[in-house]
Amino acid sequence: MPNDRVVEAPVLEARGLTRRFGAHTALNHLDLTVRPGEVVCLLGANGAGKTTTLNLFLGFLEPSEGQALVLGKPVLEDAAAARAALGYVAEVVNLYPTLTGAENLAFFHALSGAPELGKAERDVLLASLDFPVAALDRPAGTYSKGMRQKLGLAIAVARKARGILLDEPLSGLDPKAANDLVAVLKRVAADGVALLISTHDIFRAKEVADWIGIMTHGRMVDRRAAADQSAPELEQVYLTHMAERAA
């Protein structure tokens, strides 16, 4: 079952959100809400419109129609305010390889304008995200992908983001690292942070999400509560939609 926080006002909301690139419609009238503590996964193949959705919430793209709202305010009106409330974790968290993990974290944290992160506070945060604190003084170029994902998540959490957008965060992780990250994401959500995750990993989506939206060709064609479906059922639904779309 989705958690108890769903009655709160949404952190992220899409109303008929549409984005076209010339004749191609990348996102077609998407309606979506993500409330505090809620985890929503957008499930779909490459080109389904998942990343376009995240870019519209971050204000990197302008909608062709409809609205993307963050904390009830249209992103288009104040993209900076929207970004101030959000965190972002890319498929591959790109850090500065010659800077240490601590320096990378301090840099991105300082950019947000949030109060300086004390060492003790930082270490507690990183420990809560299962990041090995001892590795903080190593150059980030030596980090595994899992470590970089966790540090990327730490950057978002440290600034007390109300919502975090994650673009294929589990892609390319080994099973243990993926499991660890799923556990961490659940803990972050339990603290009241809204998570919107794009992924094409049905099984991990089922593990982490409250809701799963299946997207094909820019449309959300199905929306289901993760708890109501088993992973094989979800896979069957997903494959059916893919086949219908292909037909």
Partner 1 sequence: MSASPARVLARKDARELWRDRRLVLATVLTVLLALAAVVSTWVQVSAYERDRLAAAAMESDSWLSQGPRDPHSAAHFSQWAFRPMTAPGLLDPAATAHAGSAVWMEAHARNPAAFRAVEDRVGALELGEFSLAWVIQTLVTLLLIVFAAGAVARERERGTLRLMLASARAGGFVLRGKVLGLLTIAALIVTPLLIAAGAAVALSPAALSADAVVRVLLWCLTHAVLLAIVILIGVAVSARSRSSAAALAVGIGVWVVAVPLAPRAAASLAETVFPTPSGERFWAAAQKDIHDGIDGSGTAEERSATLRAGLLQRYGVTTIEELPISFRGASLDASERFSNRVFERRWAMLEGTEDQQRAVIRAFSVVSPVIAVQNLSAAFAGTDNAHQRDFTRQAEVERQRVVNALNNDLTVNGVGQPAYKADARLWRSLDGFRVQPMPVASALAQVWPDILILLIWLIGAGLLAIRAGRTLRPELPQ
Burial (Cβ within 10 Å: 0-12, 13-18, ≥19) of residue 49: buried
CB of 93 to partner 1, least distance (A): 7
Distance CA 95, CA 101 (A): 8
| Binding residues for partner 1, total number by CB under 8 A | 32
**DSSP letter, residue 118:** P
| Closest to 68 measured CA to CA, from 91, 34, 40, 42 | 34
Out of 56, 68, 93, 126, the residue judged to bind partner 1 by CB under 8 A: 93
**In the structure encoding, which two tokens stand for residue 92, read together?**
């591959």
Query: Which of residues 45 and 110 has its CB atom nearest to partner 1 in the complex?
Result: 110
Stretch that binds partner 1, among 93-101, 120-128, 188-196, 206-214 (CB under 8 A): 93-101
Out of 6, 29, 60, 65, the residue judged to bind partner 1 by CB under 8 A: 60
Does position 26 interact with partner 1 (CB under 8 A)? The reply is no
Distance CA 223, CA 196 (A): 14
Helix (H) or strand (E) holding 246: helix 231-246
Out of 4, 23, 98, 247, the residue judged to bind partner 1 by CB under 8 A: 98
Which residues of this chain interact with partner 1, rule CB under 8 A?
Answer: 21, 58, 60, 79-80, 83-84, 86-88, 90, 92-96, 98-99, 103, 107-116, 152, 155, 159
